[in-house]
A and B are shown apart, each in its own frame.
Chain A
Amino acid sequence: MLNYLIRRVLYAVPILLGVNLLTFALFFMVNTPDDMARIHLGAKHVTATAIARWKSAHGYDKPLFINEQAAGMGKAADTLFVDKSLRLFALDFGAADDGRDIAREIGSRMGPSLAIALPTFAVGLLFYVSFALLLVFFRGTNLDAGGVVLCVALMSISGLFYVIAGQYLMGKLWHWFPISGYQPGAWQFLVMPVLVGVVGSIGDSTRFYRSLFFEEIARDYVRTARAKGLSELRVLFRHVLGNAMIPILTGVVVVIPRLFLGSLIIESFFGIPGLGSYTIDAIQAQDFAIVRSMVFLGSLLYIAGLVLTDLSYTLADPRVRLE
């Protein structure tokens, strides 16, 4: 087990390095620091000295990979790649273009993101799986056929529609909840984003779980369970659900660490001061330092999710051993 974990962590290093090289190539080689300076200075103020000043103020006045001027180790260490890219491995994200510390921002914005993402994830999972099992229970009837049509219709609606319609109906027309905003500990602000998030993926998710359960109920053990006289509900909830656990976990566990990053659309529409709205603001302000940090954090959490997925298999299925 420990061996396995160590191997997985070592395997993560080349992937993170790849992500790092990719973003470095995009943001420093295709797009040079000079381009960056020009955007931030605006077309009117572009002079050679202004660009140089901006670059040195933001720490971009170094060579990319090899520093000829530095001595000894500095040749490789005192470069943009080490300064801006490799530092991310130590979770040292540096400062955003407005001078604020990115790591501190991430720390303070994680809470609001989780306050929305975690309930959305939990409520959603519970709802989709139950709904899918319900459809499977009524398979072959009009209820199942209607449910599938409903799912296809729901997944054909743009995600933006759910947000806009939800805000308009529940916020403006019926005055159930505040239209947007956030306050730590105030649940009123959380209900609508969570609800919209859950409803938004009913179509996709239910269809996915339904087809998963459908594959499962064609198997022999289900026939055996029925033959020994178990009720259909018991067959579905104990046997089918239990055996479908591995494919469910495969899709579900990997996203759990990513919940920290929040949802771009939901957070920005509902004015939640989380990491999703932080990212979207950074994209719109073309703050590449933040975008790079979020890319790195995202892939770190993804790899954590992959390891967690493997660990969860051992819990769901005693036959799985991690060696």
Chain B
Amino acid sequence: MKPILLWSDALILLLLATLAALLWLARHNEALRDPWRQVMRGRVGRVTALILSLYISIGLLDSAHYVERLPAAPGQPAQYGGEVRSALDGLLTPIRVSVEKTYSAPLAARLYAKESVMGPDGVERRDYPQLKHPGAHLFGTDKVGQDVLYLSLKSIRTGLLIGSLTTLVMLPFALGLGIAAGYFGGRVDDVIQYLYTTLNSIPGVLLIAAAVLVVQVQIEAHAELFNTAAARSDVRLLALCGILGVTGWTGLARLLRAEALKLRELEFVLAARAFGVGHGRILLRHLLPNVMHLVLITVVLDFSGLVLAEAVLSYVGVGVDPGMISFGNMINGARLELAREPVVWWQLAAAFVFMFVLVLAANLFADQVRDALDPKSRGRT
């Protein structure tokens, strides 16, 4: 077994390290700890936090990648398989390898489609053949016989990645440009406003589609750089996060600009200016901490939107790689099967339910965070 670090895995590690560092810094700060304690005091906050951490653990397990060592003759150099697996794949081996021929209903014992089977009396007739693993598929199997539960669990990482890495890309733009526009005003403000009006004026899906099409062509042109299928779809996923981030910073930037516009006239900023504190220090020490609540609220609120956006973008054809397991691709692959008789509903249902639980938990959690952090909504509900 040899560990493999995909680019997205590296970014996840970076994200975790940043979070850990922030927590370490904030561990003795009562003003920072108090709102979180408030979130965790309520039942809704606790339950949604539990659900989210379940999803996150599955996503993290699915981010520890490795390639299997092939059995080799003694004395020969070690050979590795071409397929990149994750710790989650390892844990789910029983349902991952129990592949059927095609669709089968949840917990069914027989296949969905009729075939010629040999009866006990030796006569061949059309019937539903026995599954190789009857009753083993909690959510049934998909068109090529893969277990739907396995697919759903694998989709979680894709959804979480899009939700979190996009934020990572978007934050520097939104923070830097938004605060700078509000604080400096004048020319700087004009240029930044022009930038985000221009970006905003392009219909969102079209801008993303345009950028993804370009990235797709570039990946195809440099196919030799990405040797495994996993690396290829990984790059495409990262590109998608990058594009969503570069096009998605305008909303938060606008909020931050308005807030910085207000803050720069307040006494503590004026006092800092009077003492001769430089712009950089004022931005970093006086403005940034005072807009952090807005940033946090927006980030948590945006997360659920991004998870939902993945499905739509994959349907349009500009989402993640078609070969990557994601909620969008699961829905896309099964949406026409409702026209069949009998209806193939389990794959759609599983994708929608897994996504619904994640997004609902994220939305409810976001509301709790907002109530705890936003001075305006404090004590209102």
What residues of chain A have their CB less than 8 Å away from a CB belonging to chain B?
A: 14-15, 18-19, 22-23, 26-27, 30-31, 35-36, 38-39, 152-153, 155-161, 164, 167-168, 172, 258, 261, 264-265, 279-280, 283-284, 286, 288, 291-292, 294-295, 298-299, 302-303
A39 to B367, CA, bound (A): 46
Q: Are B201 and A157 in contact (CB under 8 A)?
A: no
Q: How far is the CA of A320 from the CA of B6 in the complex (A)?
A: 56
Contact partner of B201 (CB less than 8 A), chosen from A19, A152, A153, A280, is A19
* B209 proximity list for chain A (CB < 8 A): 283, 291
Is B326 part of the binding interface, using a Cβ–Cβ cutoff of 8 Å?
A: no
Report Cα–Cα, A18/B202, bound state, in Å: 10
Is B316 in contact with A283, judged by CB distance below 8 angstroms?
yes
A155 touches B210 (CB 8 A): no
Please pick, from A15, A158, A258, A288, the residue contacting B198 in the complex, using a CB distance under 8 A: A15
Encode B336-357 as 1/0 by CB contact (under 8 A) with A.
Answer: 0011000100001000100110
A158 touches which of B197, B338, B356 (Cβ 8 Å): B356
B316 and A31 contacting across the interface, CB-CB below 8 Å: no
What's the nearest-Cβ distance from chain A to residue B119, in Å? 35
Nearest Cβ in chain A — how far from B312, in angstroms? 6
Q: In the complex, what's the smallest C-beta–C-beta distance from B376 to chain A, in angstroms?
A: 9
Do A153 and B360 touch across chains, with their CB atoms under 8 A apart?
yes
B:197-233 near A, CB below 8 Å: 197-198, 200-203, 205-207, 209-211, 213-214, 217-218, 220-221
CB < 8 Å neighbour of B206 from A15, A155, A291, A303:
A291
**Interface residues on chain B, number (Cβ under 8 Å):** 42
Find out whether the CB atom of A279 lies under 8 angstroms from the CB atom of B206.
yes
Of B200, B213, B221, most A-chain CB atoms within 10 Å: B213
B102 is an interface residue with CB less than 8 A from chain A: no
Chain B's closest residue to A12 (CB) is B201
A23 adjacent to B210 (CB under 8 Å): yes
Main secondary structure of the interface of B (DSSP, over half): helix
A61 to B198, CA, bound (A): 29
A295 touches B202 (CB 8 A): yes
Is B149 on the interface with A (CB-CB < 8 A)?
no
B194 touches A264 (CB 8 A): no
4 A-B pairs closest in CB distance: A299-B201, A298-B203, A156-B360, A18-B198
A280 pairs with B316, CB closer than 8 A = yes
Known: A279-B206, A298-B203. A291 touches B198 (CB 8 A): no
Chain A contacts of B304 at CB under 8 A? 156
User: When A15-B198, A15-B201, A152-B367 are in contact, do A295 and B356 touch as well, CB less than 8 Å?
Assistant: no
